[in-house]
Each structure stands twice: as structure tokens, then as C-alpha cells.
Amino acid sequence: MMSDYKKELKECTRQGREMSRPVWMTPDFWTGLQEYWQRPEVEAVSTRARANWMSEPDGEGTWISRHVGGSQSTRILQQYMSLEPDFPQDAPNYATFLRLHMYADGSYTSERDARIDVSV
């Protein structure tokens, strides 16, 4: 939701319009949020994160790679997985890595992931 507000604010600013404050936000909060998003260091972090998110780890033209573990954190995923009867108690990080980087058919989300040795 906040990301949508930020995108809309950028678009309004680009077009020279003023964006109206979301009704649930106090005026002070909205003003502070706008000032925060406009800081050069915040914009730099956002730009860097966007570039990393959209990177193509297997080279240009191979498209982006994403985790396939869902929206929960890796710690929560690992806790749920530890309840499964076949969860390897001796290699929990490796099992979690596989769950996040491997599709159900056994293929990896990227060639880079297939080459990573997480057994160390």
C-alpha cells in the first residue's frame, strides 16, 4: 500500500500535480512521509534496491530470478518445514535454500542457484 502511495506521489510530482493525502493519514504523517521519500539518500537506496530486484543473475536475456517460498520470512518457513516428517534436522539451511530456490519439478529458479554450494 505504501509503495503504491510512493509511486502515485512520484507520478503526480512528475506531472506537476499535487497528490491528495490518503484519508486515514494525519496531515503531519503525510508531510513527513513525503519529505522522507524525497531525501537523496532514501531515493538512492530505493534505486539500488530496484536495480537488484530486477537483475538477471544468469546474464542478460535470462530474465529475473525470484524466490519461490512465498511471502513468509525464511525463519518462519524453516520453522514450518521443521514440522514436516522428512525435514533434515542435520541440514536445515540447505533444505530451506532448496525450498526457496527450486520449483516443484526440481529445476532451480536460476542457473546461479544451481551452482551454489550451501552445504558448507
Count CB-CB contacts under 10 A for residue 92: 14
Can you give the pLDDT at residue 84?
Answer: 87
Q: Which pTM does this prediction carry?
A: 0.48
Can you give the pLDDT at residue 120?
Answer: 47
Give the rounded distance of the alpha carbon of 31 from its chain centre.
Answer: 26
Report the distance separating Cα 38 and Cα 9, nearest Å.
10
The residue among 10, 41, 45, 107 whose CA lies nearest residue 2 is 10
Can you give the pLDDT at residue 68?
Answer: 61
Can you give the pLDDT at residue 59?
Answer: 66
Can you give the pLDDT at residue 50?
Answer: 79
pLDDT digits (tens, 9 = 90+) for 7-19: 999 899 999 999 9
Per-domain residue ranges of the chain: 2-53, 74-115
* Residues with pLDDT less than 70, the chain: 53, 56-59, 61-70, 112-114, 116-120
